[in-house]
Amino acid sequence: MSNNGRFTGKKTPPRGYDAEAMQRRVDWLAGQTGHQLDKFALEDPASYKGLVENQIGYIGLPLSIAGPLQIDGTYAKGDFHVPLCTLEGTLSLSMTRGLYLTYQAGGITSRHIKQELSRSPVFVFETLSEAYDFLPWLEAHTDEIRAAAESTTQHGKLLSIEKHPIHNRVIMEFKYNTAEAAGQNMVTMATDTACRWIRENYKSRNPFRHLVESNFCCDKNPAQKTILHGRGHHVISSCTVPNALLKKLLRVDVNDIVQCINDLHLGSQLAGVVGLNLHTSNALAALYLALGQDVACVAENCVGIGTYEKIGGDLFVTLSMPSITVGTVGGATRLTQQHRNLELLGCTGENGSRKLAEIICASALALEISLAGAIVSNEFARAHAQFGR
């Protein structure tokens, strides 16, 4: 079990929009998980140093809860309720529906594949031959370059340096394990130091220049490369849902959902969508805001691939997310409510970032299934008319 404890009584959050309904949910969450929400208080402006400049005030955003999530992961094991920060009506209810469906089906299986965050500098020479001569020198001095990069961080480790010659340039991709941090600043400072060491020690016939980022790593950009190689945490989640449960909770048949998902994927392919999913960005944005993550990373993290297959008479759903750029230390994770939300999920210790990535992928999978059911049953518009206005 997770540190959330055992679920008792009603499995899903109580409904309602007024203050009394909100308090019922707060009390219900405490009963389910042992986690008591703190009374809301604004952070001292000084707490935002390093997070924002020119602050003039605050904007209030609601915090909601979705669940129950039951997960058997590499790092995340047990039962969880997931905090969301969103202004999109139906999202919290839809994720809860998907989580409850998968809970009744026996839970979601997740596996953490790898953790690699990259930065991709480019070195520019006057001639092709100078760029060509640079390659064996890099190979011979890998240890010194690694030492320079790792001198800037206690926890980050440089895993590899890939070299990609193009014209009179050499693009490199420095790949790091960033431990519990999301690591965007970590890999920037480490790679910058490594590049400066190269500039000081490599003797070229003519002057050359470099940029610490060539955009080859696709930072905050959706890209086919990210689907193939990943950036951040790579997680795969899957669930098998009995057809009888699909009919009961989503009001769809396994044959209908498999056929209709093919239609949706065809539309995505014709439009040139990067990845094959319905709206993983919705889950990511709501989770990232609630958990102190860099919300702009949604642009590159949303390139997941979801598939729906019929196995026996049941629905087998899989979501592969090769890019989940999250951490449990640094950035906005130090803010009071965001840190408390990480505590709610039990993601503040060793391997907390990997555990968090598995919870995020599983939550996105549940939201994908719920939306697929709404579209296939033709309840999508009616649900938004009822809950999203």
What is the rounded CA–CA span in Å between residue 187 and residue 189?
A: 6
Does residue 2 surpass a pLDDT of 90?
A: no
Give the mean pLDDT of the chain: 94
Predicted confidence band of residue 250 (pLDDT cuts 50, 70, 90)? very high
pLDDT, tens digit, 9 for 90 and up, residues 188-231 = 999 999 999 999 999 999 999 999 999 999 999 999 999 999 99
Percent of the chain scored above 70 by pLDDT? 97
What is the rounded CA–CA span in Å between residue 76 and residue 344?
A: 13
pLDDT, tens digit, 9 for 90 and up, residues 114-130 = 999 999 999 999 999 99
Question: What are 116's strand-pairing partners?
Answer: 232
User: What is the pLDDT, as a whole number, of residue 368?
Assistant: 97
Predicted confidence band of residue 1 (pLDDT cuts 50, 70, 90)? very low
User: What is the pLDDT, as a whole number, of residue 38?
Assistant: 86
Does residue 8 surpass a pLDDT of 60?
A: no
What value does the mean pLDDT take over residues 307-327?
97
Question: What are 165's strand-pairing partners?
Answer: 170
Does residue 9 surpass a pLDDT of 90?
A: no
Range in 32-41, 72-81, 345-354, 359-368 with the lowest mean pLDDT: 32-41
pLDDT, tens digit, 9 for 90 and up, residues 218-230 = 999 999 999 999 9
List, in order of start, the domains of the chain with CATH numbers: 19-42+58-114+226-368 (3.90.770.10), 121-211 (3.30.70.420)
Does residue 3 surpass a pLDDT of 90?
A: no
Predicted confidence band of residue 382 (pLDDT cuts 50, 70, 90)? confident
Percent of the chain scored above 90 by pLDDT? 91
User: What is the pLDDT, as a whole number, of residue 82?
Assistant: 98
Q: What is the DSSP string of 148-195?
A: HHHTT-SS-EEEEEEEEEETTEEEEEEEEE-TTB--HHHHHHHHHHHH
User: What is the pLDDT, as a whole number, of residue 4?
Assistant: 46
Residues 6+ positions from 362 with CB-CB distance below 8 Å: 69, 71, 73, 76, 102, 108, 110, 237
Q: What's CA 64's distance to the chain center, in Å?
A: 18
Residues 6+ positions from 130 with CB-CB distance below 8 Å: 168, 204, 205, 206, 208
What value does the mean pLDDT take over residues 308-329?
97
User: What is the pLDDT, as a whole number, of residue 213?
Assistant: 98
Does residue 262 surpass a pLDDT of 60?
A: yes
What value does the mean pLDDT take over residues 155-170?
97
Predicted confidence band of residue 181 (pLDDT cuts 50, 70, 90)? very high
Range in 166-170, 305-309, 331-335, 375-379 with the lowest mean pLDDT: 375-379
Does residue 367 surpass a pLDDT of 50?
A: yes
pLDDT, tens digit, 9 for 90 and up, residues 12-43 = 999 999 999 999 999 999 999 999 888 888 99
Catalogue the active-site residues.
88, 294, 384
Q: Which amino acid is at 124?
A: V
Does residue 61 surpass a pLDDT of 60?
A: yes
What value does the mean pLDDT take over residues 63-89?
96
Question: What are 81's strand-pairing partners?
Answer: none
